Structure 1
Amino acid sequence: MRIGSGFDVHAFTGGDQVIIGGVRIAHSRALLAHSDGDVLIHALCDALLGALALGDIGVHFPPSDARWKGADSTELLSQVMAMVRARGHELGNADMTVICEAPKINPHVPAMRARLAEVMGVDVDRLSVKATTTEKLGFTGRGEGIAAQATVLLETR
């Protein structure tokens, strides 16, 4: 078994939606990023890569590479899962938390879990997505951005 953890953060910018966990959510702002800014998938990719000691998402999909400009993060996740399987592992489970004041995440959790399960090729019961606020403290509390963290357990096939 191998355990990995990931963390990501993106600041808000102008826009009318965010993408979190592969799900588009209407919001008064968007997330500033080189790719689509899916903070949850980025944290999940970092956790998966970390579990295998393969660096982080920036190593494999660097912002300096124009190929990843505006990239759909579900494609990045698909590629990371291919790396996991190529090394003889499968996801045991993933526990993820989105940290923000807005938008409200809980109404979208079932869709996020379903989308992530589809992209990763795993049963939805292996994926936990939760949300919390920071009680108006720090950058997320001031509504400046969104953070996410993920912990994964990989098992040898």
Structure 2
Amino acid sequence: MSRDLSTGLGFDAHRFAAPDRHRPLWLACLQWNDGTPGIEGDSDGDVAVHALIDALLSAAHLGDIGTLFGLGPQSKGAGMHGAEMLCSTSAYLHEHGWSLMNASVMVVAQRPHLSPRRDQAQAAMTEALGAPVSLTATTTDGLGFTGHGEGIAAMATTLVSRLPRS
């Protein structure tokens, strides 16, 4: 494989927010209004986006989401929505000589059901990054915190290419 190509892997998991927190659920750059509670987090808690950012930064050897956005309620990423974070990450990759070729994200959750909005979510992530993003979903058949309905996890893989030098 050429040194001009690199793959990255990312993972993220968050628990659902307590019902009294009244946080909306953001997942794969979309707000979900199906009764699924929102996610705890400093940003909008979009685990699909967070896993994708880690995969992008990993592929370009640029650290992880904490490296780019910081940690905690006073961080650069606090209060940001997923699409904004993806746009910022894409620009950061370009500044460092890399471009996304494609990405795949897998959401692990009992809810929400992604299939009714999969195309819309893929389009939103693709638009934010300017490259194709594929979205899949699975459950853990009742095992672990995602299987017990306590939260959502996501994994992502990316392929990036080095930009031509000018």
TM-score when scaled to structure 1? 0.92
What letter is aligned with 1:19?
W
Task: Decide which moves more: 15-24 or 88-97.
Answer: 15-24
User: Within 5 Å, which residues of 2 pair with 1:68-147?
Assistant: 68-122=77-131, 126-147=132-153
Higher strand share: 1
TM-score when scaled to structure 2? 0.87
How much does 1:66 deviate?
Answer: 4.3
Cα deviation per residue 1:104-124 (whole Å; 9 max; x = unaligned)? 1111110111111111122xx
Q: What percent identity do the matched residue pairs reach?
A: 38
**Aligned match of 1:57:** 65
Which of 7, 15, 18 aligns to 1:11? It is 15
Task: Decide which moves more: 28-37 or 138-147.
Answer: 28-37
What letter is aligned with 2:67?
V
Cα deviation per residue 1:62-119 (whole Å; 9 max; x = unaligned)? 2233443221122111111012112222212111100000111111110111111111
Q: Is the 8 A contact 1:16 1:28 kept in 2?
A: no
How much does 1:12 deviate?
Answer: 0.3
Structure possessing the higher radius of gyration over alpha carbons: 2
Q: Equivalent residue of 1:151, what SS?
A: strand
What letter is aligned with 2:89?
V
Distance 2:59 2:77 in 1: 23
Matched, 1:31 2:39: yes
What letter is aligned with 1:77?
L
Specify every segment of 5 or more residues in structure 2 that has no aligned partner in the other structure, as ranges. Answer: none
Q: Is the 8 A contact 1:16 1:29 kept in 2?
A: yes
Matched, 1:22 2:23: no
**Aligned match of 2:160:** 154
What letter is aligned with 1:134?
T
Q: Equivalent residue of 1:54, what SS?
A: coil
